[in-house]
Amino acid sequence: MVWLEYEHKNTFFHNRLTGLTKLIMTLVIIFMAGFYWDLRYLGVLLLFTICLALLSKIPWHWYRNLLIVVLLMTPASIQLGSLWMVRSEYFKVLPREFTSKVIIHIGKLPVVGETALTYGNAYWTASFIIKIFISIMALYFFIYTTSVSDLSYSLQKLGIPSSIIFLISCSYRFIPLMLRRQQIVTWARSLRGWRIGKNPIKVIYNVGPIFFSLGLSAYNAVEQTTRAVSLKGFDVKKKTTPIRDIKFTYIDYVLSLFFIAVFAISTYLNLVYNIGNI
Amino acid sequence: MTVESKIAVETTNLSYISPSGKKLLDNLNCKISKGSIVGILGDSKSGKEIFLQTLNKIIPTFTGGIVEGKIIVNGLNVMEHTVNELAREIYTILEEPSLQIVQTIVYDDVAFGPSNMQLPTSEIRRRVDFALESTRLSGYEERNCYTLSGGEQQRLAIAGGIAMLPKIICMINPFSMLDPIGKKEISAVISQLNKNYNITFLITDGGQDIEILARLSDELIFMDNGKIINRGPPKELFSGKYEIDMRFPEIAELFTMLDGNITRAEIPLSVSEAVEFLTKLLRGKRQKISKTSKEPDKISKKVDPIITVRNLEHTYPGPPPVKALRGISLDIYPGELVAIIGQNGGGKSTLALHLVGILKPTNPEAIITVDGIDVPNASTMEIINHINYVFQNPNDQIFTEKVWDEVAFGLKMRGLNQEEIRKRVQETLRLFGLEQYANEHTAFLTPGIKTLLALASVAIMNPRILIIDEPTGGLDYKEADHVLKIIQALNETGKTIILITHDMRIVSKFTSRVIVIHQGQILLDGSPSEVFAREDLLKKAYIEPPEIAQLARELGLPLDILTVEDMYKYLRGVLSWSG
């Protein structure tokens, strides 16, 4: 099953937009998710990103994996929120009487001092989790709709040096390769009676061999990829011909300008009027 | 006025010393003419792959070590250029195709080389279309490269080379993962490119596909221990006059066995040549002989099947969903040695992964019972006591540092005591001939030893049924024979063996029953002679009977003649030779 890699589909985003436009859209969404903390704005952004993901026909199991990532990160986010955001003066927009109201008192911790889970912390944590959700969804949208060659060509258009493009392209295809490899390796292990177990020491002991094998595969894959691209005449110092006739259409111009404008306006409003802050 | 050289490759005193200090090429002096097809044969230690990789400087660029001597490729001194500079002149298709894929989409991957050559987009498109058509990949343009089967990936790697139209193409064991018709098609592509574009081809093989190379090549080079032992036209080398430490093509083997009893001008290498010769010889002398091949009636079908599959379907989720299995039903009986064959991507491995419970049927009414276990509802631990699977690529399966630990792993997971583990590991290493490797690092083993290790590490768990996926893929003929003898020995101890293979010689020589899978359905199921008699249906599944079976059919001889030995016995009987 494909995860974290491009798949050809007959959608508007796959076929009508260039990689550059999609890159601009994705970066704008991620940046906006980065500086917005207000749940109302994040909610709108989340809705928009979900629409993008649905329209680009991202397979359902991608969402399942996203939920797993978010669920795994939630306890850490709550902990982070309760440790760092306990002081109500950190909040610039939300009323202090609301942000400082304690839900659970944790107590005094070394270095950090007094800690507690307050409404402010809970709000911050919820925003943090939604930010992760939006950012990953935006990345999903980009990865699923943009092929390696499309990405390379877009980066080339932006004037990014070929050596950096090569590194980005390699990692873009390397991650799914390793994910596939990890799946086969896990199957092979389970057929030899391998199981993770519940005892944490045993978990480390049992997972060790997988890392040995994956490490070896990763090393081989990097070496073989470098070999393969050299065999096909790739030279970081030279430009390449675009594989497809990728032309910027008016839709690309309109969408790119729209997203850049939205980004500029929202950044201005955020910096000057605190819109989107908490 | 300059005279263009007729030499594509010239090496003078070429030697290669690996980083560990081993001399892997030893003073090679070799000239290869432009526009020729040269087959380079030898076992896995012969240095044939190393030789090809020095020609475009992959060695020593990526491997280290020292290359001595001179290499001239199309007039260029290789040592003065980089690998990517040499790409316009010489392209190498490596053995492991998945690692040669550099893009995610088929079209983009084939176009990657021409795009680096800065050709106009229209020319790139023309070349990609040509390369895809030549390799039977038209229609796959937008497919994700990693969802292709092993054979399809092999064809993709070849297409990537073809699209660059270099002057020399080197291919390292290119036929090893292809289905029989795929092999034939790639041979046709090689001939066509050679004829139309005067491309020189250097192709290595470990003896598994020697029939193809013997027919395709203008010249064969035999290597051993980094040296060229013999070279010449195939007909001369297989004439029986030379001592060659290599399996002969089946037709040539038959005729050298018949030597002394017949008089011939030159050795036939193809079925058509053999038919022409034998038709005259057999005129009026045909007779029926008793069955010579292994037949399934050896296995009593009165006993209950050990594997029962009913109406098994599997659809990989899309969009669009891919129906990999479409209502498979079959019974396999205890002690059988069954081959599952079919075209690349036809559903063979998907079926096997269901039998060991890795994949679950996508239709709830499907039944998979293995040795009394309801597989879809059983735990992996329960299943692997009865059946296990040896993966096609041993690298997927080997994950410990030392050979001993790898073999012991399954038993350790079962919680056996140290003494019992030690005893059984020692016994298994001995059975598989791996004792000398016990303390070696698994990463540095040869492909043949890795295959044996993968097999040993599963067999030690003593399941009643073993599924072995492409056990001889990428091995030289000696290693392959060794692996097959061990598989046969396991079968003789009562184990039920299911082999997934593309090698029809293995099917005809070692198995008693063949199941042909085509597009997720069983197309044929019977003894090798029954199955190979249905050439019309086999073609649908990209299968071609072994050459001896084709010869028997062409001559109108009994269709249970499948191997060289069968044919030799028959001919001796008919012609009353004492031989």
Cis upstream peptide for B319 (omega within 30°) = yes
Question: According to the model, what pLDDT value does residue A228 have?
Answer: 87
Question: According to the model, what pLDDT value does residue A81 have?
Answer: 66
Q: Grade residue B179 by pLDDT with cuts at 50, 70 and 90.
A: confident
Q: What's the fold here for domain B297-546?
A: Rossmann fold (3.40.50)
Helix B106-116 / helix A148-157 crossing angle, nearest 10 deg: 40
Token pair for residue A201?
């020491």
Tell me the pLDDT tens digit for each residue of B269-320.
999 999 988 888 877 665 544 444 444 444 556 689 999 999 999 988 655 6
- CA angle A66/A70/A74 to nearest 5° reads 175
- CA angle A129/A132/A136 to nearest 5° reads 145
Beta strand B307-316 with B367-370: parallel, antiparallel or unpaired? antiparallel
Shortest Cα distance, chain A CAs vs residue B357, angstroms: 9
The length of chain A is 278
Please report, for chain A, the start and end positions of each structural domain, with discontinuous segments joined by +.
Answer: 1-146+248-278, 160-240
Closest partner residue to A147 (CB to CB) among B83, B101, B104 is B104
Closest by alpha carbon to B454, among B387, B386, B393? B393
Among A230, A234, A247, the strongest candidate for a mutation testing the B interface, having the largest count of B CBs within 10 A, is: A230
Residue A222 touches partner B, C-beta closer than 8 Å: no
Closest by alpha carbon to B514, among B505, B504, B526, B506? B526
Token pair for residue A162?
């070929």
- CA angle B236/B238/B240 to nearest 5° reads 95
CA count, 13 A, side-chain hemisphere, B535:
12
Phi, psi (rounded to 5 degrees) for A117: -95, 115
Tell me the pLDDT tens digit for each residue of B337-350.
999 999 877 889 89
Token pair for residue A2?
């494909």
B 439-498 residues with CB < 8 A to A: 443, 457-458, 461
Closest by alpha carbon to B570, among B553, B552, B554? B552
Tell me the pLDDT tens digit for each residue of A60-93.
888 888 888 888 877 777 767 666 655 667 788 8
Structure ipTM: 0.78
Phi/psi region, residue B371 (left: phi>0; alpha: psi -120 to 50; beta: rest), is: left
Report the alpha-carbon distance of residue A247 to residue A17 in Å, rounded: 9
Residue B228 touches partner A, C-beta closer than 8 Å: no
Q: Grade residue B1 by pLDDT with cuts at 50, 70 and 90.
A: very low
State CA A272 to chain mean position distance: 28
Shortest Cα distance, chain A CAs vs residue B565, angstroms: 38
End-to-end CA distance of chain A: 40
Cα Rg of chain B, angstroms: 25
Closest partner residue to A227 (CB to CB) among B62, B380, B443 is B62
**Res A212 pLDDT > 50:** yes
Report the alpha-carbon distance of residue B331 to residue B371 in Å, rounded: 11
Tell me the pLDDT tens digit for each residue of A93-150.
888 888 888 888 877 777 767 777 888 888 888 898 999 999 999 999 999 999 887 8
Closest partner residue to A191 (CB to CB) among B61, B118, B384 is B384
Computed over every residue of chain B, the mean pLDDT equals 88
Looking at domain B7-237, its CATH superfamily turns out to be P-loop containing nucleotide triphosphate hydrolases (3.40.50.300)
Which helix (DSSP H) or strand (DSSP E) does residue A225 occupy? helix A200-231
Closest by alpha carbon to A232, among B579, B118, B502, B37? B118
Q: Which residues on adjacent β-strands are paired with residue B524?
A: B516
Spatial contact of B40 and B48, defined as CB atoms under 8 Å apart:
yes
Distances (CA, A) of A113 to A83, A100, A101, A124, B357: 9, 16, 18, 19, 53
Report the alpha-carbon distance of residue B48 to residue B225 in Å, rounded: 9
Residue A241 touches partner B, C-beta closer than 8 Å: yes
Token pair for residue B260?
């002394």
Domain with CATH 3.40.50.300 in chain B: 7-237, 297-546
Which helix (DSSP H) or strand (DSSP E) does residue B227 occupy? strand B227-232
Shortest Cα distance, chain A CAs vs residue B111, angstroms: 6
